[in-house]
Structure 1
């Protein structure tokens, strides 16, 4: 019997993503960019050399703007204190974190990092309004891996800002996917030197302070990479609240496979020959949920709530009301009209469909069984009649 993790994914065509549109590397500073390239011995594919040169030019500008931002706002940033309650949305890639993030970002009492802030943390205090107004044409209309709309002002994943600011991240893998994955240890923060952990803390806190200085509201952050860091983040921010969203594991796996394939087409400086996506998905899950299952139950019910994508889609306003009530996020009735209007529009969203080989489905169930059991999914990934309690 062959190993399902070793099988290559079915080839799928990514949504069009213009060559001039921003990649996550465009926001980096020069020194972290050079360190990343040096670790991978500048192993560009010939057809991606031009892209690498363009990124290098951007990193030089980013380094200058970063210093200028610090010169102008450095003192204010040190004095800025993030508002409470800070909210972290957690969950595996493709489990509905973006959908939930965009709904919650409608609440004017909170703010969320925008695409401009996450892709350009080195300059957004200087240039966000200008770029958002005059350079909307740089952004494609939808994300490359699915049909969700994008834009400079849309809420975005803060992990991209951490990449740009120079701390290691699992997303480094996308630059050179034919090499051994970079940064997977940062999915659960285990085995990392305390000094490196301190740098990561400082970087995340610095970005949060920048967003707070710009918006002056409590922040809602979303990143799948934070899932296994829940204990780490709960210690950093004792008043923080956490929302975990799960989804049919079969759908999650298939959609994540497509995600990495599509992101490599857009972000990579190679043309991957043997990226081993399925093996990588299993390895990431082990780290993410090893950390999450270890630390999640240490948090009280007023700090952590778990929901399911299927429940959010079936009754989004009802699920959001439960989240607000359990975590104490404010008066939900004040935002109910906006939520109802937004969720009426979301019903028109077309979701990708996936097929699953029987052998792979069996392997997913075997390896992810604690996830199936905790969130009430049957062996085929559908919802069980009654969700069993976590042991």
Structure 2
């Protein structure tokens, strides 16, 4: 990364919404104990702008804890007894590889459902409060995601990794709360070095969260969190009949887009003074892909035949209907005709959407090729990142 602070940082974030202290951060969904623990274990030097945000999280987290007790009393037994209508469908892939696009297409199926933003932000009590809270608080949210201008809102699909954070589980995503301190909980990316007892707790809370979504809407639940790409073996222990769809993309596009995403999240979710470059992120992005795909390469052999489909972003964008139809056939998800009207509608709504464009310097291209050789090889991308 460039060291001259006067230079414009590479792949800089460009938030499209002013995140004031009233705008909910994901950390607003924590219980009081989880929030105080986060403050106690991190060097939480706050920026003046973020002091009000942090001050607002404390009473909200106390509310979350109280409502969590009530929700557990009201729904706990029902959640534990809930039987899933269908095994979950996991969307796998690196950040910015097209997982959001694929997720959005899959949830147009009327027989699918998903964890929405409110449920991921309020996992302790969403069953008790969602009906009342979302109409009253929707004005607090930005209309677009800051990293890619995709529509945002309480009802939009969200990564369940944020729900796991708010349930008190360690996660690499917690780095965005205090980005000055660099990466945290890297061992939870693939869970391989996590003690068995802690991993069992992670699995149990994921299962409870998924079952809580089924209590609200018992259909096939489509889950999308990039870290799950490295956790297939542990997901199969919880959901042995789960289905998986993986999407890959030109790694020379993944790298700058992921950096921009991470910086944007640190800017809008962080509670510390902004850094112009977040110098630790480039190395962390490079390292994380290798960890993810070493794990995925080992674990995908464990997936039962007929429960994994692999797509390429480039093909999905070029002919989404053909790729989704192929996926439905390979995963035995049912008649594609059921989802076709929704796919057509989504394509029409997003026809004018433009992806971000990046020009990588030659030295960065060389570094990506060198460090991410596993990805180039696994998904057959050419030497310059184009398809062979």
Q: TM-score, normalised on structure 2?
A: 0.94
Among residues 47, 55, 58, which one is paired with 2:57 in the alignment? 55
How many Å apart are 1:332 and its aligned residue?
A: 1.1
Q: Tell me the distance in 2 between the aligned counterparts of 1:181 and 1:12.
A: 18
Alignment of 1:369-384 (within 5 A): 369-384=373-388
Q: 1:41 to 1:278 in 2, by over 3 A?
A: closer
Aligned residue number for residue 216 of structure 1: 218
Q: Tell me the distance in 1 between the aligned counterparts of 2:309 and 2:142.
A: 34
Q: Residues 24-74 of structure 1, C-alpha deviation per residue, up to 9 Å, x if partnerless?
A: 101000111111111114332343222111111111110011111001111
Aligned residue number for residue 283 of structure 1: 287
**Mean Cα displacement is larger for which, 330-339 or 273-282?**
273-282
Aligned residue number for residue 355 of structure 1: 359
Q: Tell me the distance in 1 between the aligned counterparts of 2:369 and 2:279.
A: 23
Q: Residues 59-106 of structure 1, C-alpha deviation per residue, up to 9 Å, x if partnerless?
A: 111001111100111111111122323100010001111111011101
Aligned residue number for residue 343 of structure 2: 339
How many residue pairs were aligned? 381
Q: Residues 276-303 of structure 1, C-alpha deviation per residue, up to 9 Å, x if partnerless?
A: 2111101211221121111113324411
Q: Tell me the distance in 1 between the aligned counterparts of 2:208 and 2:384.
A: 43
Q: Tell me the distance in 2 between the aligned counterparts of 1:374 and 1:305.
A: 14
Q: 1:320 to 1:51 in 2, by over 3 A?
A: same
Q: Secondary structure at the match of 1:178?
A: helix
Alignment of 1:38-117 (within 5 A): 38-117=40-119
Q: Residues 303-357 of structure 1, C-alpha deviation per residue, up to 9 Å, x if partnerless?
A: 1111011111111111111111101111111221221221232221121111101
Q: Tell me the distance in 1 between the aligned counterparts of 2:312 and 2:180.
A: 34
Q: Residues 195-235 of structure 1, C-alpha deviation per residue, up to 9 Å, x if partnerless?
A: 11111011101101110001011211001011100111122
Aligned residue number for residue 310 of structure 1: 314
Alignment of 1:220-369 (within 5 A): 220-273=222-275, 274-369=278-373
Aligned residue number for residue 33 of structure 2: 31
Q: Secondary structure at the match of 2:180?
A: coil
**Mean Cα displacement is larger for which, 212-221 or 339-348?**
339-348
Q: Residues 159-196 of structure 1, C-alpha deviation per residue, up to 9 Å, x if partnerless?
A: 11101111001101111112141111111101111111
Contact 1:177 1:275 in 2 (8 A): no
Matched, 1:13 2:2: no
How many Å apart are 1:13 and its aligned residue?
A: 2.8
Q: Tell me the distance in 2 between the aligned counterparts of 1:310 and 1:290.
A: 23
Q: Tell me the distance in 2 between the aligned counterparts of 1:189 and 1:97.
A: 21
Q: 1:17 to 1:296 in 2, by over 3 A?
A: farther
Q: 1:11 to 1:157 in 2, by over 3 A?
A: closer
Structure 1 residue runs without a partner (length 5+): 385-391
Q: 1:292 to 1:176 in 2, by over 3 A?
A: same
Aligned residue number for residue 208 of structure 2: 206
Matched, 1:187 2:189: yes
Alignment of 1:149-188 (within 5 A): 149-188=151-190
RMSD after superposition = 1.8
Contact 2:190 2:295 in 1 (8 A): yes
How many Å apart are 1:363 and its aligned residue?
A: 0.9
**Mean Cα displacement is larger for which, 331-340 or 213-222?**
331-340
Q: Tell me the distance in 2 between the aligned counterparts of 1:255 and 1:371.
A: 16
Q: 1:371 to 1:24 in 2, by over 3 A?
A: same
